A and B are shown apart, each in its own frame.
Chain A
Amino acid sequence: MYQYNYADQTLVEERVAQFRDQTERFLAGELPEEQFLPLRLQNGLYIQRYAPMLRIAIPYGLFASYQLRKLAEITRKYDKGYGHFTTRTNIQLNWPKLEEVPDILAELASVQMHAIQTSGNCIRNTTTDPYAGIHQEEIADPRPYCEIIRQWSTFHPEFAFLPRKFKIAVVGTANDRAATQVHDVGLHVKTNEAGELGFEVLVGGGLGRTPVIGKVINEFLPRRHLLSYLDAILRVYNLHGRRDNKYKARIKILVDSMGGPAFAKLVDAEWQAHTKDGPLTLTDANFATASSFFTEPDYLTFDALQTQSELQQQLDGDKDFANWYHQNTVAHKVAGYRAVVISLKAGLVDGRYVPSGDLSESQMDALADLADKYSFSELRGTYQQNLVFADVQTNQLYELWQQLSELHLARANINTLTDMIVCPGWDYCSLANATTHNIAEQIEKQFDDLDYLYDLGEIRLNMSGCMNACAHHHTGDIGILGVDKKGEHWYQISLGGNSSNDAKIGKILGKAVPATDVAITLQKILDVYLEQRVSNDHEVERFGDLVDRVGIAPFKEKVYG
Chain B
Amino acid sequence: MGNHHVLNSAGADISQNDTWLALHTHELPDGIALSHITLLELLHKQEKREIVLPLTDLLDTEGQLAGGLLQEVRELVSQHASRMGVWVTSDSDTEALVGLSEFLLQQDLIVIHVPAFTDGRGFSYAQTLRHIGYQGEIRMAGKFGRDQIAYLLRAGVDSFVLSEHDMQSISDITQAFNALASSYDGRDAAALPMFSGA
Interface set of A (CB-CB < 8 Å, partner B): 2, 4-8, 10-11, 14-15, 18, 21-22, 24-25, 28, 30-31, 34-35, 38-39, 121, 147-148, 151-152, 154-163, 227, 231, 235, 238-239, 243, 273-275, 278-282, 286, 289-290, 293
Supposing A11-B180, A18-B180, A21-B175 touch, asked if A38 and B193 sit within 8 A by C-beta, the answer is no
Main secondary structure of the interface of A (DSSP, over half): helix
B97's nearest neighbour on chain A, judged by CB, is A239
Knowing that A7-B193, A39-B147, A121-B120 touch, tell me 4 more A-B residue pairs with CB under 8 angstroms. A155-B180, A157-B186, A158-B154, A160-B123
Q: Secondary structure of the B side of the interface?
A: loop
Task: Name the segment of B7-15, B30-38, B124-132 touching the other chain.
Answer: B124-132
Determine if B127 and A7 form an interchain contact, defined as CB atoms under 8 angstroms apart: no
Total A-B pairs, Cβ < 8 A? 135
Count contacts on B: residues with CB < 8 A to the other chain: 45
A281 / chain B contacts, CB cutoff of 8 Å = 189
**Bound Cα distance from A161 to B125, whole angstroms:** 13
Check B128 against A235 for contact (C-beta < 8 Å): yes
User: Interface readout for B159-198 with A: 1 if CB under 8 Å, 0 if not?
Assistant: 0000000001111000100011111111111101111101
B24: CB under 8 A from chain A? no
Kindly state whether residue B71 has any CB partner on chain A within 8 Å.
Answer: no
- Which one, A10, A158, A289, contacts B186 given CB within 8 A? A158
> From residue 78 to 130 of chain B, which have CB atoms closer than 8 A to chain A?
94, 98, 117-121, 123-125, 127-128
Q: How far is the CA of A227 from the CA of B153 in the complex (A)?
A: 21
CB pair A239 B94 closer than 8 Å: yes
Residue of B nearest to A152 (CB): B192
Contact B188–A279 (Cβ < 8 Å): yes
A62 CB to nearest B CB, Å: 15
| B123, A18: Cβ atoms closer than 8 Å | no
User: What's the least CB distance linking A274 to chain B, in Å?
Assistant: 4
Q: Which residues in B have their C-beta under 8 angstroms from that of A28?
A: 170
**Alpha-carbon distance between A7 and B123 when the two chains are bound, in angstroms:** 24
Measured CA separation A157–B149 after assembly (Å): 10
Which of the residues A30, A39, A152, A293 comes within 8 Å of B169, measured between beta carbons?
A30
A7 near B189 (CB under 8 angstroms)? no
Question: Which chain B residue shows the least CB distance to A280?
Answer: B189
Tell whether B63 is near chain A: CB-to-CB under 8 Å: no
17 A-B pairs within 8 Å (CB atoms) are namely A2-B194, A5-B193, A10-B182, A14-B179, A14-B183, A25-B170, A30-B168, A30-B170, A34-B117, A39-B147, A121-B118, A155-B184, A157-B185, A243-B119, A279-B187, A286-B195, A290-B194
Question: Which residues of the other chain, A, contact B169 by a CB distance below 8 angstroms?
Answer: 25, 30
* B181 partner, pick from A14, A35, A154, A273, beta carbons under 8 A: A14
Flag if B124 contacts A155 (CB, 8 Å).
Answer: no
Known: A35-B145, A158-B127, A235-B128. A7 touches B196 (CB 8 A): yes
A160 CB contacts on chain B under 8 angstroms: 120, 123, 148, 151
Chain B residues within 8 Å of A239, by CB: 94, 121, 124-125, 128
Bound-state CA distance A293–B194 (Å) is 10
- Bound-state CA distance A155–B123 (Å) is 13
Whether, in the assembled complex, B155 has its beta carbon less than 8 Å from a beta carbon of chain A, the answer is yes
Say yes or no: B128 contacts A157, CB within 8 Å. no
* Contact indicator A18/B117 (Cβ below 8 Å): no
Chain B residue with minimal CB distance to A6?
B198
Measured in the bound complex, the distance between the Cα atoms of B154 and A517 in whole Å is 56
| Alpha-carbon distance between A159 and B193 when the two chains are bound, in angstroms | 18
Q: How far is the CA of A160 from the CA of B181 in the complex (A)?
A: 16
Asked whether, in the complex, the Cβ of B124 is within 8 Å of the Cβ of A158, the reply is yes
**B-chain residues with CB within 8 Å of residue A162 when the two chains form the complex:** 120
Contact residues in B for A289 (Cβ distance below 8 Å): 194-195
Question: B138 at the A/B interface (Cβ < 8 Å)?
Answer: no
Q: How far is the CA of A278 from the CA of B194 in the complex (A)?
A: 19
A239 to B131 alpha-carbon distance, docked (Å): 15
**Whole-angstrom distance between the Cβ of B168 and the nearest chain A Cβ:** 8
Chain A residue numbers with a CB within 8 Å of B195 are 286, 289
Could you say which residues of chain B place their CB within 8 Å of the CB of A156?
186
For A6, the chain B residues whose CB sits under 8 A away are: 198
Of all chain A residues, the one with the shortest Cβ separation from B193 is A7
The answer to the question of B22 belonging to the interface, with a C-beta cut-off of 8 Å to chain A, is no
Of A4, A11, A30, A243, which is within 8 A of B182 by CB?
A11
Least CB distance from B49 to A in Å reads: 33
> Which residue of chain B has its CB nearest to the CB of A155?
B183
CB-defined contacts of B188 to chain A, threshold 8 Å: 279-280
Asked if B170 and A24 sit within 8 Å, CB to CB, the answer is yes
Set B127, B168, B189: member contacting A227, Cβ < 8 A: B189
Bound form: Cα–Cα A93–B120 in Å: 29
Q: How far is the CA of A35 from the CA of B121 in the complex (A)?
A: 16
Known: A30-B169, A161-B119. A15 touches B192 (CB 8 A): no
**How close is A3's CB to chain B, nearest CB, in angstroms?**
9
Which residues of chain A have C-beta atoms less than 8 A from B131's C-beta? 273-275
Contacts of B124 in A (CB 8 A): 158, 235, 238-239
Taken together as a complex, chains A and B put the C-alpha atoms of A289 and B197 apart, in Å, by 10
Report B32 CB to chain A, min CB distance, Å.
21
Given contacts A18-B180, A25-B169, A34-B117, contact A161 B189 (CB under 8 A): no
Determine the chain B residues whose CB is within 8 A of the CB of A14 once the complex forms. Answer: 179-183
- Among B147, B181, B185, which residue has its beta carbon within 8 angstroms of that of A22? B147
The list of the 5 closest CB pairs from A to B, nearest first, reads A161-B120, A7-B198, A157-B154, A7-B193, A157-B151
Interchain nearest-CB distance for B38 vs A (Å): 33
Complex contacts, B168 vs chain A, CB 8 Å: 30
